[in-house]
A = this chain, B = another copy of it.
Amino acid sequence: MSERAYSAVPFADVRIIGPFWRERLETVLDRTIPSQHAKLKEVGILDSLKLPKPVPPLTIPRNSHGFTMQVFWDSDVGKWIEAASYALAHRRDADIEAKIDAIVEDLASAQSDDGYLNCWYNGREPEKRWTNLRDNHELYNAGHLLEGAIAYFRATGRRKMLDIMERYVDHIGSVFGYAPGQKRGYPGHQEIELALVKLYRLTGDRRRLDVAAYFIDERGRQPHYFTEEALARGEDPASYWAGTYEYNQSHIPVREQTRVVGHAVRAMYMASAMADLALELNDEGLKRACEALWRDVTTAQMYVTGGLGPKETNEGFTEPYDLPNETAYAETCASVALIFWAHRMLHLELDGRYADVMELALYNGALTGLARDGTHYFYSNPLESRGQHRRWAWHVCPCCTMNVSRLVASIAGYVLSTRADGVAFHLYGGFETTVTLAGVKVALSERSAYPWVGEVCIDVDPEAPAAFDLKLRIPGWAKGATAAVNGEPIKLEPVNGYATIHRLWRKGDAVTLDLKMAAERLYAHPNVRMDIGRAALRRGPVIYCVEEADNPGGAVQTLALPRLSRLEADMRPDLFGGVITLKTRAKRLVSGNGGNGGALYSTEPPTAREAALTAVPYYLWANRGSGSMQVWVAELED
Contact = CB atoms under 8 A, between A and B. Distances in A.
Contact of A533 (B528, B536, B554, B634): B634
A558 to B, nearest CB: 5
A461 interface: no
A591 B529 CA distance: 12
Contacts of A637: 637
Interface stretch (A31-39, A337-345, A422-430, A518-526): A518-526
A532 B599 contact: no
Interface in A596-622: 598-606
A532 B520 contact: no
Contact of A526 (B384, B526, B528, B589): B589
Given A63-B64, A634-B533, A304 B601 contact: yes
B560 A532 contact: yes
Query: How many copies of this chain sit in the oligomeric assembly?
Result: 2
A327 interface: yes
Nearest to A563: B605
A259 to B, nearest CB: 15
Contacts of A478: none
A523 B560 CA distance: 15
B298 A520 contact: no
Nearest to A518: B603
- Of the candidates A602, A603, A604, A636, the one having the most CB atoms from chain B within 10 angstroms of its own CB is A603
Interface string A191-222: 00000000000000000000000000000000
Interface stretch (A135-143, A318-326, A449-457): A318-326
A560 B535 CA distance: 16
Nearest to A384: B529
B298 A591 contact: no
Interface in A532-561: 532-536, 554-555, 557-558, 560
Contacts of A533: 533-534, 560, 634-636
Nearest to A602: B523
B532 A589 contact: yes
A527 interface: yes
B529 A600 contact: no
A244 interface: no
Contact of A601 (B522, B554, B557, B599): B522
A175 interface: no
Contacts of A528: 600
Contacts of A324: 326-327
A299 interface: yes
Given A299-B598, A558-B532, A603 B322 contact: no
Contacts of A536: 601
A600 B532 contact: no
B521 A599 contact: no
A304 B602 CA distance: 10
A161 interface: no
A302 interface: yes
Interface residues of A, number: 51
B634 A525 contact: no
B527 A555 contact: yes
B558 A602 contact: no
A557 B527 CA distance: 8
Contacts of A233: none
Contacts of A634: 532-533
A438 interface: no
A386 interface: yes
A368 to B, nearest CB: 17
B606 A525 contact: yes
B600 A524 contact: yes
Interface string A376-398: 00000000101000000000000
A40 interface: no
A606 B531 CA distance: 11
Nearest to A323: B600
Given A64-B64, A532-B634, A600 B300 contact: yes
Contacts of A319: 386
A522 B602 contact: yes
Interface in A498-528: 520-528
Contact of A523 (B322, B532, B606): B606
Contacts of A384: 529
Contact of A327 (B63, B300, B327, B524): B327
- Of the candidates A63, A525, A534, A606, the one having the most CB atoms from chain B within 10 angstroms of its own CB is A525
A504 B635 CA distance: 59
Contacts of A523: 601-606
A535 B606 CA distance: 11
A590 interface: yes
Contacts of A521: 603
Given A319-B386, A525-B591, A533-B534, 4 more contacts: A298-B600, A300-B600, A526-B606, A533-B636
23 contacts: A299-B598, A319-B386, A324-B327, A523-B601, A523-B602, A523-B604, A524-B600, A525-B591, A525-B600, A525-B606, A526-B589, A527-B555, A527-B557, A529-B557, A529-B558, A532-B557, A532-B558, A532-B560, A532-B589, A532-B606, A535-B605, A536-B601, A637-B637
Interface of A: 63-64, 298-300, 302, 304, 319, 322, 324, 326-327, 384, 386, 520-529, 532-536, 554-555, 557-558, 560, 589-591, 598-606, 630, 634-637
